[in-house]
Amino acid sequence: MTGALPCVHPWDREAFVSDDVVQALSRVLPAESLVTDPDVLAAHRNDQAEWAPSGMPRVLVRPASTAEVQAVLRVATALRVPVVARGAGSGLSGGANASEGCIVLSLLRMNRILEVDRRALLAVVQPGALNGAVKAAAAEAGLWYAPDPASWEFSSIGGNLATNAGGLCCVKYGVTGDAVMGLEAVLADGSVVRTGGRTVKNVAGYDLTRLFVGSEGTLGILTEATLRLRPRPPKATTLVAAFPTLVAAGTAVCDIMERTRPSLLELMDRTTVRAVESWKPMGLDVDAAALLLARSDAGGAQGEEELGTMVAACERAGATFVMNTADEAEGELLMGARRFAFPALEQRGATLLDDVGVPVSRIPELLEAVERIAERHAVVIGTFGHAGDGNMHPTVVFDRKDPEALARAKAAFDDILRAALDLGGTITGEHGVGSLKRAFLGSQLGPETLRLHQAIKGALDPLGILNPGKLL
């Protein structure tokens, strides 16, 4: 049926105006693509931002092709029904949360890796493909897909594109947007556009690829991506250092980034380290104020020089312990400690995960500010994140059964956003604005830039049906 869908053009809207949305969708989609079971709909209300607002969707659609996505959007335009795109549901900002009465458009059935071109160093994939599956396909061809959010094993490429996801390796290799060469997107009226291409250089026209990446499903539904692959890097050498204060760790980060470019530079504060050690014991130093994890994947003499530079920087900053290993298994064990950071904090209660970024030189000030905020609001905050690019994740932990604790947690969360802005930073480095941080976007952008965003949104989605209430 996919190849023989009825052709419902924008000028055919009158064909649907008397239909209920489910009835209209049933006319253009196969039965297996349409779900109305209340329990399934309830399971698709939220992403992982449990405190972000959400509504109950009217219907869940699971298209298997670009043509089916087009059909959904033509119906939505005809009936003025909101559409919320959804991948694996691993988002952390409420960006995939349903609007009341909306169509939730799940892209997980569109999960094929269409092509891996070894010579051109690229892959063409559908949005439902998991990040880990793309990495595996690249590895089979002797190549590497660099973007690696902490959720790489279960997050989808579409979700990564929607938020311009980062990860541990972005300090050297960039975020998701840096690996995107071209896109296919379906606009609100059902028309299909292609941006970018397969060439390394391409400056023909506006950079629409960059416009769609990070737009959180508010400008169009991404249905295909051409991704840049890389040769496999050499085996990495891993360093871990312990510090007596958070400021000392931040000082080491600044020193390292002045002198070299590690392939990874991550920080965990004492609260986070203790949560990880309690949940997954691995002999971490629970008395240190902070642990710094770093890697060099340069290989050979250059790698040895990078490692020596990082060790010296940690020692100058007053590290109480510094060690390194070239053993791959041992290095992965240490990296496991960092990847366990957020789930370990979740074991201690409900969480509000912040995602702020500041200039690297101001990391020590951000860490000090977070400590003051935790003390002022009498809350527990575990801080970890991508220190090498200034993207930190202060995570407020609280008792979900205590309304007063929730109020203090929300106040602390908001104060962290304000602190980041005061330091010349951003309210989100990689998780997106969603609905969780929408109220703060104007403070960062300013009125003129916000109006420009709204004008772009109005041009591509004049009825405002794509993910309403998110981002803008």
> For residue 15, is it within any domain?
yes
The count of domains in the chain is 3
Domain CATH code at residue 270: 3.30.70.2190
Residue 123 confidence (pLDDT) above 60: yes
The pLDDT value given to residue 11: 37
Q: What is the mean pLDDT of residues 320-328?
A: 94
The pLDDT value given to residue 5: 39
> For residue 148, is it within any domain?
yes
Q: What is the mean pLDDT of residues 17-29?
A: 87
Residue 221 confidence (pLDDT) above 50: yes
> For residue 425, is it within any domain?
no
The pLDDT value given to residue 14: 54
Q: What is the mean pLDDT of residues 88-101?
A: 96
Residue 466 confidence (pLDDT) above 50: yes
The first and second tokens of residue 184, run together, are 């296919």
Residue 108 confidence (pLDDT) above 90: yes
Given 317, 345, 373, which residue is the final one in a domain?
A: 345
Q: What is the mean pLDDT of residues 114-143?
A: 98
d(CA 62, CA 366): 42
Give yes or no: residues 23 and 101 share one domain. Answer: yes
> For residue 466, is it within any domain?
no
Domain CATH code at residue 150: 3.30.465.10
- Reported as a single tens digit per residue, the pLDDT across 291-317 is 999 999 999 999 999 999 999 999 999
The pLDDT value given to residue 18: 52
Given 345, 378, 399, which residue is the final one in a domain?
A: 345
> For residue 29, is it within any domain?
yes
Longest pairwise C-alpha distance within the chain:
72
Residue 262 confidence (pLDDT) above 60: yes
> For residue 451, is it within any domain?
no
If we measure between CA atoms, which residue out of 366, 357, 353 comes closest to residue 429?
Answer: 357
Domain CATH code at residue 83: 3.30.43.10
Residue 288 confidence (pLDDT) above 90: yes
Domain of residue 332: give its range.
234-345
Give yes or no: residues 56 and 38 share one domain. Answer: yes
Q: Percent of the chain beyond pLDDT 70? A: 96
Residue 66 confidence (pLDDT) above 70: yes
The pLDDT value given to residue 1: 35
At residue 2 the predicted structure's pLDDT band, cuts being 50, 70 and 90, is very low
Given 345, 363, 386, which residue is the final one in a domain?
A: 345
Residue 257 confidence (pLDDT) above 70: yes
Lowest-pLDDT choice from 5-9, 200-204, 245-249 = 5-9
The pLDDT value given to residue 8: 40
Q: What is the mean pLDDT of residues 58-72?
A: 98
Residue 343 confidence (pLDDT) above 70: yes
The pLDDT value given to residue 12: 52
Residue 128 confidence (pLDDT) above 80: yes
Give yes or no: residues 211 and 252 share one domain. Answer: no
The pLDDT value given to residue 335: 87
* Mean pLDDT, all residues of the chain: 94
